[in-house]
Structure 1
Amino acid sequence: MKPNTLGAALLGTTLAATGATAQDVTLTIESWRNDDLAIWQDQIIPAFEADNPGIKLRFTPSAPAEYNAVLNSKLDAGSAGDLITCRPFDASLALYEAGHLADLSDLSAMGDFPDVAKSAWQTDDGSATFCVPMASVIHGFIYNADAFAELGLEEPETVDEFFAVLDAIKEDGGYIPMAMGTNDQWEAATMGYNNIGPNYWKGEEGRKALIAGEQSLTDEPWVAPFRQLARWNEYLGFGYEAQTYPDSQNLFTLGRAAIYPAGSWEISGFNTQADFAMGAFPPPVPEAGQECHISDHTDIALGLNAASPNAEAARTFLNWVGSAEFASLYANALPGFFPLSSHDVQLEDPLAQEFVSWRQECASTIRSTYQILSRGTPNLENETWNASAQVIRGAESPEDAAARLQDGLASWYEPQQ
């Protein structure tokens, strides 16, 4: 081969090799959140790809009810995406223990998350963290600000003030004081017991003591929230026993109820449906001056498929998911789903900003039944749904409900025996 021919050949080989290494890596994301597909396609993916040439993203959600089964089938078949959207606690822990999720403890972004944020995606001993936290939901009370102004009411700070407000609304008669039913049961526990409860059991202190067997569900801090719930039935309106979750949403957004025991995920829907001004207040504390606690519940995270051939690129993306840029994009695109990182994120939605501002005043915790304590039979989470609904209806006393839950937990959970 002549020298000039050899040079041309070598140059061609070099260009071919360069072209091969410059080819985009495409990362596929598995998720159950099919309702935010447009947000990923229009905002999140373009923002990441603009700063990370060479890495492309595909967001491929499944129907929420089918996600677990579809994902497990793909993982078993070796066809799952590079990135796995993680549900909190046991479902994701099972994937990690089966070798499907990689340990991300050494990911630099993990340093920007507090322990309570990571707890939903860690081994029981906290030695491995396998998903990057994306968002939480916060519990409290949303209220009709126009109704409060009309009746001359202010946001309550203590339990006594809370019931004084409810009494005033009831006496006026123009509004149902509070929109919540007990037909579906889960609301009674999620927006009832686990909303107000952390102020009684002191959030993480009580939750961890229950897991350790140092407190029981028959102790006063765990019975007291049931005592408050037992008083709610006077304020929920006629027929609340048969009232479904959508019924309660409609009663509030149509302006017929003044207060709604809430999860922050309601914000987007309420903004669309309600034609009145809204405000929010955190769960009132039992005594004035007491430290407040909020249920700031870990909801969604993102993990790395341990079998991904694109692990390096996937870790680049996961570090970005832990960044302030992602936190701001996600939180403002989905008002009511709050960043779990320590970054200072400004929210555009005033109601969402009100919820997240409570983190500056109150200590965050997560729902008491979600970590470890609902692995056995009877399932403590599901039993708490029923117990909360029964207490509100007056069908079971607070003490009997607590004793039933404690007996069920002790029947299979050794630290409580």
Structure 2
Amino acid sequence: MNYRTFTATLLASTLLAGSAMAQDVTLTIESWRNDDLSIWQDQIIPAFEASHPGIKLNFAPSAPAEYNAVLNSKLDAGSAGDLITCRPFDASLALYDGGKLADLTDLPGMANFSDVAKSGWSTDDGSATFCVPMASVIHGFIYNKDAFAELGLQEPKTVDEFFAVLDKIKEDGTYIPMAMGTNDQWEAATMGYQNIGPNYWKGEDGRTALIKGEQKLTDADWVAPFEQLARWKGYLGEGFEAQTYPDSQNLFTLGRAAIYPAGSWEISGFNGLADFEMGAFPPPVPNEGDECYISDHVDIAIGMNKATEHPEETRTFLDWVASPEFAKLYANALPGFFPLSNEAVELDDPLAQEFVSWRDECKSTIRSTYQILSRGTPNLENETWNASAQVIKGEESPQDAAARLQQGLESWYTPGQ
């Protein structure tokens, strides 16, 4: 090889190497889940990078309480990451409407999700979706299997069976029947009203009818959950009115209460604290043979910064997030946060698998107050917290609570505005 040929070959190889290096793109992910950092670094990022050479990921979370403000500042300044972790409904919708999030409706992986799964990150009319759904949380009841075995109890299927179980626990006196307080209010609505309610208002049928103005909160199907909550008072133990959310968690994990009205996000924490085996059952149906519904509430998603300099690589990552591989990774790393894709994922944690199995038996819906109906003042979500707590304490009747909520909603919300 003469000098000229050697120089040309060396120059060509250098250019090729430079070209390869230029293709190596790093995508930054904005998130509020700073507790997930090790999961991303140790499991999710290595799995993606192994199958997608040339694309690197940098997971850069903010503190949860500061996330919205920090993210908005970065987006306005043009310094935000390529990928934006999305909270459900209005905060993310505002980013999309403001031109900060890209439309992902045509992303191939979106075919893996139902309209309910996408509802937290779609426009009100459902015509555009701007974040890929990652996970939901499911409501039901976690129980102490040792306590049930001691007392000869079976998982209740109907409301009558549910109260028969509570009566037996109360009569025995060893355990508080249910661990829930009303001091913090939100859990009375979230793990109370929104947990049992879908079986009465028929899930999505009732929720969408309420948004359209075809049903009212004073209708029988919306008052009925309050009527059941009013019956809970006698089973929550002494001093439940002053009992905080952490108090209730402790009562259950210390083995002092037999049943815990739950969100699936409790699973990881409870696994590390309870020294007894736990089981779970879905909200009992009003009557034997009734179709069952569960609150399978959309919780977290991820979208594309419309101003990203790497839209193709960002879409590649988002399509991977929509895949079964990501769903299995994420769900097993965070038991109690369930994949929203249509494809079934086998979970390693038995309690998490029990919760997610209800999707095969029951119809999924989301919390009734989260989409559209809490944009005004009074805020229906916050008012439902208070109403649920007041009903459980016996300080407001189910009918009066429902009438108050409906009046507040009507004061600012007219369907079809």
TM range (shorter): over 0.9
Report how far residue 19 of structure 1 moved: 2.0
Residue matched to 1:208:
208
Aligned 1:11-90 pairs, distance under 5 A = 12-13=11-12, 15-23=14-22, 24-90=24-90
TM-score between the two structures when normalised by the length of structure 2? 0.98
Is 2:243 aligned against 1:230? Answer: no
| Gapped regions of structure 2 (runs ≥ 5) | none
Is 2:361 aligned against 1:361? Answer: yes
Is 2:207 aligned against 1:181? Answer: no
Report how far residue 254 of structure 1 moved: 0.1
Query: Could you tell me whether the CA contact under 8 Å between 1:410 and 1:416 is conserved in 2?
Result: no
CA distance in 2, matches of 1:53, 1:371: 39
Query: Could you tell me whether the CA contact under 8 Å between 1:216 and 1:416 is conserved in 2?
Result: no
Residue matched to 1:292:
292
Number of residues of Structure 1 aligned to a counterpart in Structure 2: 415
Residue matched to 1:260:
260
Query: Could you tell me whether the CA contact under 8 Å between 1:185 and 1:389 is conserved in 2?
Result: yes
Residue matched to 1:143:
143
CA distance in 2, matches of 1:10, 1:4: 10
| Gapped regions of structure 1 (runs ≥ 5) | none
Aligned 1:374-385 pairs, distance under 5 A = 374-385=374-385
Is 2:7 aligned against 1:8? Answer: yes
Range that drifts further, 242-251 or 9-18: 9-18
Residue matched to 1:172:
172
CA distance in 1, matches of 2:205, 2:260: 27
Report how far residue 10 of structure 1 moved: 7.2
User: Once the two structures are aligned, what percentage of the paired residues are identical?
Assistant: 79
For residues 4-41 of structure 1, the C-alpha deviation after alignment (integer angstroms, 9 at most, x for no partner) is 63773475156325423443100000000011110000
Query: Could you tell me whether the CA contact under 8 Å between 1:203 and 1:365 is conserved in 2?
Result: yes
Report how far residue 415 of structure 1 moved: 2.0
Residue matched to 1:277:
277
TM-score between the two structures when normalised by the length of structure 1? 0.98
CA distance in 2, matches of 1:225, 1:15: 71
Report how far residue 342 of structure 1 moved: 1.1
CA distance in 2, matches of 1:122, 1:293: 22
Residue matched to 1:218:
218
* Other structure's SS at 1:414 match: coil
Range that drifts further, 11-20 or 23-32: 11-20
CA distance in 2, matches of 1:14, 1:203: 62
Aligned 1:94-105 pairs, distance under 5 A = 94-105=94-105
Is 2:315 aligned against 1:315? Answer: yes
Query: Could you tell me whether the CA contact under 8 Å between 1:83 and 1:314 is conserved in 2?
Result: yes
CA distance in 1, matches of 2:138, 2:109: 23
CA distance in 1, matches of 2:121, 2:20: 34
For residues 340-394 of structure 1, the C-alpha deviation after alignment (integer angstroms, 9 at most, x for no partner) is 0012211000000000000000000000000000000000000000000000001
CA distance in 1, matches of 2:266, 2:320: 27
For residues 101-147 of structure 1, the C-alpha deviation after alignment (integer angstroms, 9 at most, x for no partner) is 00000000000001100011000111110000000000000000000
For residues 285-344 of structure 1, the C-alpha deviation after alignment (integer angstroms, 9 at most, x for no partner) is 000000000000000000000000011111110000011110000000000000000122
CA distance in 2, matches of 1:50, 1:116: 32
CA distance in 2, matches of 1:374, 1:412: 10
CA distance in 2, matches of 1:89, 1:18: 45
Report how far residue 265 of structure 1 moved: 0.2
* Other structure's SS at 2:182 match: coil
CA distance in 1, matches of 2:53, 2:21: 9
Amino acid of the structure 2 residue aligned with 1:179: A
CA distance in 1, matches of 2:401, 2:278: 34
CA distance in 1, matches of 2:385, 2:115: 27
Query: Could you tell me whether the CA contact under 8 Å between 1:100 and 1:305 is conserved in 2?
Result: yes
